[in-house]
Structure 1
Amino acid sequence: MTTIACPRIDQFLQFYNALSGKNLQSLQQLYHPQVVFIDPVHKIHGRDALSSYFSHAYERLAHCEFIGQDKLEQDNHGFLSWRMQFSHPAISKDKLIVVEGCSVLRWQDGQIIYHRDYYDLSEMVYQHLPVIGWLTSKVKQRMANS
């Protein structure tokens, strides 16, 4: 198997595995001031707004780790599929949750100007909540049997 060098993707993965509520100022190193960040819940414009989002997201997060899988980097575009393992007291009482996803990235002036994450929000949150989780699993079962 041939390993393709993807230094910016590797830096991105290392950055996220080191990120915590205590070092959010490091976002300035990775993200362009005009970054657009999109995930299944948010569309955020600008590094300051992104910093506020992460400040809230990491406030009570007990553990978060990204395991890189497939990656591709060409010119100013990048792709990384990942497995995220995290625990949060508000979701499943700090039980470890595993979510598969991917990130699409674009760089400008050496920093990320566009970051879009794709993942199943149900897999991340809904299925771990008591009533909503039960309802989500019933809907998925019904759809699978149709």
Structure 2
Amino acid sequence: MKAQDPRVQRIVTLFETLTPADVKRLGHFYAANARFKDPFNDVQGVPAIEGVFAHMFESLHEPRFVVHEAIVQGDQCFLTWDFLFRFQRYRSDVQTVRGGSHLRFDAEGLVCLHRDYWDAAEELYEKLPLLGGLMRWLKRRANA
């Protein structure tokens, strides 16, 4: 994905090429007191954000992001993406979580707010070997 805004292109390139070695470089992209929030985390500061991404690499096999769109307005942008991975502890095919990120940049072009939006029930819980069956059953019951 090619973005017009250099701040956005820089962060998209980071997300799409992120490796475990890049985790310690997140301070080049995030402001020192940046906040990161997703369905499982709500942390502040670069060390805590590094911890979230380090945990991702420890818990999942071959995680990677594919960014599809970027909507930019002023110091904010919204990215739509697919997150692809395989579960580390279970034999699994490549899983896909579809979501979006709201990013806000500070005056230096660093991310000061990163909020991810995705449906944990549909995109993750339903894909787990044991919990998935229960989640699909509950979904069917709720829709009946």
Decide: shared fold, TM above 0.5: yes
Offset, 1:133:
0.6
Offset, 1:69:
2.2
| Structure 1: distance between partners of 2:113 and 2:97 | 22
Offset, 1:4:
6.9
Supply the AA of the counterpart residue of 2:98.
E
Which position in structure 1 is the counterpart of 2:11?
12
Say yes or no: does 1:129 pair with 2:112.
no
Give the TM-score, by structure 2 length: 0.88
Offset, 1:124:
3.6
Supply the AA of the counterpart residue of 1:130.
P
| Structure 1: distance between partners of 2:33 and 2:53 | 16
Q: Could you tell me which runs of 5 or more consecutive residues in structure 2 were left unpaired when the two chains were aligned.
A: none
Which position in structure 1 is the counterpart of 2:103?
105
Aligned CA distance change for structure 1 residues 94 and 17 (closer, same or farther; 3 Å)? farther
SS in 1 for 2:105: strand
Which position in structure 2 is the counterpart of 1:67?
66
Give the TM-score, by structure 1 length: 0.87
Contact 1:9 1:80 survives alignment (8 Å) = no
CA RMSD in angstroms comes to 1.8
**What is the count of residue pairs matched by the alignment?**
142
| Structure 2: distance between partners of 1:14 and 1:41 | 24
SS in 2 for 1:22: helix
Percent identity for Structure 1 against Structure 2: 27
